[in-house]
Chain A
């Protein structure tokens, strides 16, 4: 379903329409009615440092239910650290985090969150099939105990969503970067999350996979999933983005409509890499802010 340009007119799908809702406890169900008013992600005055160096220096970030927010910025601006802080993998040295209205420290309902970490090229020591990797994502729903029919169906559905169902029995080591990225997204989708958090899902992804990923994301957004994604550039996902938050040196410098790409950078599939950019150089050279 096509998204309205202003991003607000998209009907908020009632959670009861999604089979994920039935698996949540009744208590959560009641709570979620009240929690609907709360932002899905709320980061206020967040500070964090890695190895003694401050990376986030007071970041405010709120993502409402059903919103698609892109986190943009140059290398080293703190985008990845911000999302890793949201999923509790980087401790905050200050500020507050809340997920679905629950303070980050007390948040336990991880089945509602689908996380797609930055893809690393390092292969695992032991071969694993595409299905085995995607099944790991289902543990968010059923942590212990043998997988049931619904779990296997969810894994199959997730594989179909990213167009990898025919590769389910192939080893992940034999996949291209783009295919591997699709597998990681399927792994997050296997848990049927309400919130999808993705770190550079388009980095090193070939054009064909980029288009498939954009299609997958479009379906998720149409179904009411909230999305926070780190991007280097908007690229083919541009029409999906409601709002862009641009980070520079660990601070939010822009929070509003996605910047329009200009010139070469507006071309679909353009993936401009700046390996030469010095930290003190102008962080965004792509015309994103002009």
Chain B
């Protein structure tokens, strides 16, 4: 285990992995709460065009990816507001366009190739440069600041948007901020997990955590914990087995999900029986059925 740390590239990869493990579930929980788990996937597709633009213009792809995916996320949010019935198709266009545009542009660029593309699609532990680590750390700090600092506000907006508006919260601004934060998270994660699998890391740790928790704060904490564990162990596994880290991380996360689900089901059952016993005792067996017979 420790020999892994002898390599500078692995130190950088592990640091990036921890940051991904923290940020992806921290943003993902709000998307899952709003039943928009798929949004991370969409941003990932769009970010590919951003990466390709970086290659084409000779700038660091992380920055161009942040820019393009943030634009894409804002566009998706606007489509959600105004799109109504055709919003579904408009989103699909954005997904396909992002992917196709990325492949097209990267092949047009002098330095880019499909090999580069694969490292961005499925992650790579050897390509995290020193400059990447700095950029990823800055972006991750932004994500943590928003997702934890505005936890109560974002919770309210994602839980019941109409109620949140009536409390006077700036719901539109918060929604846009969440979309941009999700886009930033995608770019934080793309080096290690890859653009095609980043959405899984936003969703699977949350799905796993909520099998065992009863509240939002606990789910958030546990999901981040699971995220860090799977990204670290997945990255180490990739080092020894020479597989793309995105794949091993996501397979591990799904494994954790399966284990927690298997363990939590009997636990929830026991809890439900206890609760049923409690309420039955409280109601003293009184019948509270309503008369719903039409007369």
A residues in contact (CB < 8 Å) with B:
84, 87-89, 108-111, 113, 115, 117, 124-129, 131-133, 135-137, 139-140, 143-144, 147, 169-171, 174, 187, 191, 206-208, 264, 267, 269-274, 276
Contact = CB atoms under 8 A, between A and B. Distances in A.
Given A89-B162, A109-B168, A272-B292, 5 more contacts: A126-B219, A139-B153, A143-B168, A169-B215, A208-B286
A133 B160 CA distance: 9
Interface stretch (B32-40, B60-68, B130-138, B181-189): B32-40
B124 interface: no
A137 B167 contact: yes
A110 B213 CA distance: 33
Contacts of A270: 291
B146 interface: no
B241 interface: no
Contacts of B37: 125
B164 interface: yes
Contacts of B291: 264, 267, 270-271
Q: Which of A88, A269, A272 has the most chain B CB within a 10 Å cutoff?
A: A272
Nearest to B295: A264
A115 B166 CA distance: 7
Contact of B288 (A88, A111, A135, A206): A206
Contacts of A139: 152-153, 156, 164, 167, 169
Contact of A110 (B168, B215, B288): B168
Interface string B204-229: 00100010011111010000000000
A132 B169 contact: no
Nearest to B268: A174
Interface residues of B, number: 40
A272 B206 CA distance: 41
A40 to B, nearest CB: 15
Given A129-B214, A170-B214, A207 B163 contact: no
Contact of B32 (A126, A136, A191, A272): A126
Contact of A171 (B155, B162, B214, B283): B214
A207 B289 CA distance: 8
| Residue from B35, B152, B217, B292 whose CB has the most chain A CB atoms within 10 Å | B152
Kindly name the residue among A111, A127, A169, A269 whose own CB sees the greatest number of chain B CB atoms within 10 A.
A127
A169 B33 contact: no
A133 B166 contact: no
B29 interface: yes
A110 B167 contact: yes
A137 B156 CA distance: 8
Q: Tell me which of B37, B167, B210, B213 has the highest count of chain A C-beta atoms within 10 A of its own C-beta.
A: B167
A127 B168 contact: no
Given A191-B167, A269-B290, A271-B292, A126 B156 contact: no
B182 to A, nearest CB: 15
Nearest to A143: B169
B159 interface: yes
B270 interface: no
Contact of A117 (B156, B163, B213, B216): B163
A115 B153 CA distance: 17
A274 B292 CA distance: 9
B172 interface: no
Contacts of B292: 271-273
Interface in B85-129: none
A143 B275 CA distance: 35
Contact of B168 (A84, A131, A140, A267): A140
Interface in B222-239: none
Given A126-B32, A127-B213, A169-B215, A140 B167 contact: yes
Contact of B217 (A109, A132, A144, A170): A132
Contact of B166 (A88, A108, A171): A88
A187 B294 CA distance: 34
Task: Identify the 3 closest CB pairs spanning chains A and B, nearest first.
Answer: A110-B168, A129-B215, A136-B156
A109 B167 CA distance: 9
A264 B293 CA distance: 11
A88 B165 contact: yes
A169 B162 CA distance: 24
A128 B275 contact: no
Interface centre among A84, A109, A132, A273 (most CB of B within 10 A): A132
B163 A115 contact: yes
B167 A126 contact: no
Nearest to A141: B167
A207 B283 CA distance: 12
29 contacts: A84-B162, A88-B166, A89-B165, A110-B166, A111-B168, A115-B163, A117-B160, A124-B33, A124-B159, A125-B33, A125-B34, A126-B29, A126-B219, A127-B214, A127-B215, A127-B216, A128-B215, A135-B152, A136-B159, A136-B160, A139-B152, A139-B167, A140-B167, A143-B167, A170-B214, A170-B275, A174-B272, A206-B288, A207-B290
Contacts of B169: 139, 143
Contacts of A143: 153, 167-169
B288 to A, nearest CB: 5
